[in-house]
Structure 1
């Protein structure tokens, strides 16, 4: 009985980790990958949904490690030099 409970606990833990990995990938794609084409965003979201943790690892190694789609820090504050006057 204890082995069954341990197995169920491990399955629950892996399920929660998979859900967190998918949510992280989708959040990162939507909020941080501003220069990524929309079709590529859709492909990465589908990869994350279908491959779960493996998809998140692939996404991290291919996209996040290169950083080619993220905007540079100076691009984020580009329009703040000229404040809007009311």
Structure 2
């Protein structure tokens, strides 16, 4: 066999390897990443809904703009903001009811 034919055969074998092995593996990996992204979006939306439904008195540091600040953090930082909100707000206030000064007196 001459060199030109050998290069041609090796080119087709390489193409076959790419099509039959690498592309299906990449497809399955992308489906896994899509699943992870879907879970992250659901988690982010649930944290955003919790933030918007929570009264301003139920944040760890009750303040006038606490709800607005956390809403902006969730909107602009997406998944990172959702993790921050979950760890700093939801875990610190879940099950605890903060009392207003009127109720304490």
Q: TM-score, normalised by structure 1?
A: 0.61
Q: Which runs of 5+ in 2 are unaligned?
A: 1-22, 101-105
**Counterpart of 1:53?**
79
Q: Secondary structure at the match of 2:93?
A: coil
Q: Secondary structure at the match of 1:41?
A: helix
**Counterpart of 1:12?**
34
Greater C-alpha radius of gyration: 2
Q: Which runs of 5+ in 1 are unaligned?
A: 76-86
1:72 and 2:97 matched: yes
Deviation at 1:14, TM superposition (A): 2.5
Q: TM-score, normalised by structure 2?
A: 0.53
**Aligned with residue 54 of structure 2, among 29, 32, 48:** 32
State how far apart, in whole Å, the 2-side matches of 1:24 and 1:17 are: 11
- Report if aligned partners of 1:34, 1:71 keep a CA contact under 8 Å in 2: no
- Report if aligned partners of 1:25, 1:59 keep a CA contact under 8 Å in 2: yes
Q: Aligned Cα RMSD in Å?
A: 3.2
> Aligned residue pairs: how many?
75
